[in-house]
Structure 1
Amino acid sequence: MLKSLVAAAAALVVTAPALAQDVTLRLAHFAAETHPGHVAAQQFAERVAERTDGTVEVEIYPANELGSPPEQLEQTVLGAIDMNLPTHGALDKYEKAFGTVMTPFAFRDYEHAHQVLDGPFTEWVAPKLDEQGLVMLSHWEYGFRNITNSVRPIETPEDVEGLKLRTPPEVQIVAAVEGLGASATQIAFPELPNALNQGVVDGQENPIGVIYHFNLNDFQEHLALTRHVYNSMIHVVNKASWERLTAEQQQVVREESAAAGKLMRELVASQEEEELAKLEEAGMKVTRPDLAPFRQTVAASDAMARVAEFSGQENMDKFQAMLD
């Protein structure tokens, strides 16, 4: 009788659902504290705490407080940081399929990008990321990248030729600007304002929000809406950290991650025109060139082949099918 009671009690222990425990998750990202990315992260933290009755607390470390973007992602893979918001250009160092997203001129507009990324792309890459020790929660936003410079306005691809532009080290962005005839120079983002001020480079490229929130107009006269590459933040969590959460907590985190991503997308889209107007008011000259010649120029270069070589031709073929 006693043995059967002990066995029954043991069975209950094994089959009982995990009980909620207090968990603190550290979320690091690279966006400025005024940027929509940080606003979205704050909403995520607040709603997770509220919906889990305080059992899950999210501590946010913005603006590269815990290291450069590659360092933050590496620490998240290793478990020193629980959550991160890397771009595709950071994740493709761990899984090449992510490199396809930043193919020059891949997406028509934001809606097109969101349809692809939230649907077939996530279904494709989430299991691959799991193999790297990361759980993929949702796509957020970052935006279409645009060129600024201090030399001349850009109306045609020929206006880009000869410019020396700072880019991050992502193959896709380098291929895009070099495909337009510029030379690409890699400079760490914290060093960029000084490099622009000293004329080390003629210009740089980034989404509108980055140009605005980091006051790059203080060092650049011209902004061209070239929209040559799209990328976004992707909310990821260390797999071991994820497994510390109960199923109910995981569900809340997933839902609030998606809600935060939706908020960031809305903020980026709604603020771009307002930020452009403010940049113009501050003296920046903005051009809105016809992008068809830019696409044709890049397509005629070796840019696409370089991206396919980096990402893998099989991955590129699968991504191109998603775009269609």
Structure 2
Amino acid sequence: MTTWILKGAAVLALLASQAAAQTTLRVATDSGPEGSPSGNAIARWAEMIEEGSDGDLEVRVFYQNQLGGQLEVFDLFVAGEVDLMLSWPSTSYDRRIGVLNAPYMVTSWEEALAAYQPGGWVNATLNDVFADLGITYFGAWPEGFAGVATRDRYALDIASAEGLNVRTPPFFPIPQTLQAMGYQTAAIDWSEVFTSIQTGVVDGDAGNVIYWDYEYFGEILDYYVRTKHIFVTGNLVANTGTMESLSDEHQALIRDAAVTIMEAQFVEARAEDERNVQIAIEGGMEYFEPSIEELRPMIEAVRAEVWPLMEADIGSEIVGQMRANAN
């Protein structure tokens, strides 16, 4: 009996030590419910971390709105209550985060991957920005290049954009970017876009990949022009304090898993975007994708007018990096 008691005590002690050794991490996204592309991404990230750590790391997953709104979740993240995020962060913490909205910073998928992956110039720039907030940046989670969707008429150059009034997200410098491209703009909340187009308050929507414009406004919009003025992307990030509390091995595991998620999304998002283009065309939307040479006058106008405006927010050093790497 004594032997069995001793053995039982040993098992309990072992289980207790194993439980104590296990670290629980929290991963969240501020945009995407369970089953959505972004929701699936954080679930996969959690799975890769748990499997790679042989159970030493447990990862709890929280989807959009499960921990609060966008700003609330980011507050928890900065405070260390959330450890990992797929985030579309607000500039309320640091105006330099606005570099994510910088127009014509990259103009092709290949250029974007080279810039946003570890070792790329955008990756290094964003790491510097986020570091001051106690955040480690791993890489982009792209959705694709934005365009302008309109009804009745469309624009392929600055001159033909005159008189077209388009909705833009209310984030600097997106309205200024569209104005430099020749459009009139109105900053309108997403929930009011359909009614605004339907009633003629605006002629269309600017700032989204084609999926959103066709899925939500396809019945009232006729054209989509892929202007590529913004590369729309989320961000795979970690709380730096959390990272530093982990072993080097576990830090590398989290980082490598994030990079794997990023690289997979560059492939999947591009393919998904191409599928959505075909769906929109089959649904009756006319699609245009001007070449970079055709877009060049818009690109040069935006860089000349908008990039100097950004220096006050994101700093001359970052804008200098943008100029140095511009194609």
Give me the TM-score of the superposition, normalised by structure 1. Answer: 0.80
1:33–1:25 CA distance, 2 compared to 1 (3 A): closer
**C-alpha distance in 2 between matches for 1:236 and 1:304:** 26
- The answer to whether residue 32 in structure 2 is matched with residue 59 in structure 1 is no
User: After the TM superposition, which of the residue ranges 220-229 and 165-174 deviates more from structure 2?
Assistant: 165-174
**Displacement of 1:133:** 2.0
Aligned to 1:315, which of 293, 318, 326?
318
1:218–1:131 CA distance, 2 compared to 1 (3 A): same
Q: Contact between 1:49 and 1:56, CA under 8 Å: does it hold in 2?
A: yes
Report the AA paired with residue 28 of structure 1. T
**Displacement of 1:125:** 3.6
- What corresponds to 1:257 in structure 2? 258
Q: Contact between 2:25 and 2:82, CA under 8 Å: does it hold in 1?
A: no
Q: Contact between 1:136 and 1:236, CA under 8 Å: does it hold in 2?
A: yes
Q: Contact between 1:154 and 1:287, CA under 8 Å: does it hold in 2?
A: no
**C-alpha distance in 2 between matches for 1:114 and 1:78:** 30
**Displacement of 1:250:** 2.3
- What corresponds to 2:204 in structure 1? 203
Q: Contact between 2:113 and 2:266, CA under 8 Å: does it hold in 1?
A: no
**C-alpha distance in 2 between matches for 1:291 and 1:311:** 26
Q: Contact between 1:141 and 1:264, CA under 8 Å: does it hold in 2?
A: yes
**C-alpha distance in 1 between matches for 2:289 and 2:58:** 45
User: After the TM superposition, which of the residue ranges 19-28 and 103-112 deviates more from structure 2?
Assistant: 19-28
Report the AA paired with residue 112 of structure 1. E
**C-alpha distance in 1 between matches for 2:219 and 2:242:** 41
Higher relative contact order (CA 8 A, sep 6+): 1
**Displacement of 1:140:** 2.1
**C-alpha distance in 1 between matches for 2:296 and 2:150:** 20
| Post-superposition CA distance 1:283-318 (Å, at most 9, x none) | 212122345454424534622322334322232112
1:94–1:43 CA distance, 2 compared to 1 (3 A): same
1:219–1:75 CA distance, 2 compared to 1 (3 A): farther
Q: Contact between 2:154 and 2:161, CA under 8 Å: does it hold in 1?
A: no
User: Can you give the 5+ residue segments of structure 1 that lack an aligned partner in the other structure?
Assistant: 1-18
Aligned partner of residue 171 in structure 1, secondary structure: coil
1:137–1:117 CA distance, 2 compared to 1 (3 A): closer
Q: Contact between 1:137 and 1:257, CA under 8 Å: does it hold in 2?
A: yes
1:308–1:200 CA distance, 2 compared to 1 (3 A): same
**C-alpha distance in 2 between matches for 1:60 and 1:75:** 12
- What corresponds to 1:43 in structure 2? 44
**C-alpha distance in 1 between matches for 2:122 and 2:299:** 24
- What corresponds to 1:107 in structure 2? 106
1:300–1:239 CA distance, 2 compared to 1 (3 A): closer
Q: How does 1:278-297 map to 2 (within 5 A)?
A: 278-292=279-293, 294-297=295-298
Q: Contact between 2:29 and 2:38, CA under 8 Å: does it hold in 1?
A: no
1:51–1:272 CA distance, 2 compared to 1 (3 A): same
**C-alpha distance in 1 between matches for 2:221 and 2:72:** 29
**C-alpha distance in 2 between matches for 1:136 and 1:84:** 10
Task: Say what the alpha-carbon RMSD is for the aligned residues.
Answer: 2.9
Aligned length in residues: 302
**C-alpha distance in 2 between matches for 1:210 and 1:44:** 25
User: Can you give the 5+ residue segments of structure 2 that lack an aligned partner in the other structure?
Assistant: 1-19
User: After the TM superposition, which of the residue ranges 69-78 and 309-318 deviates more from structure 2?
Assistant: 69-78
Q: How does 1:152-301 map to 2 (within 5 A)?
A: 152-205=153-206, 206-211=208-213, 214-243=215-244, 245-292=246-293, 294-297=295-298, 299-300=300-301
**Displacement of 1:143:** 1.8
Aligned partner of residue 215 in structure 1, secondary structure: helix
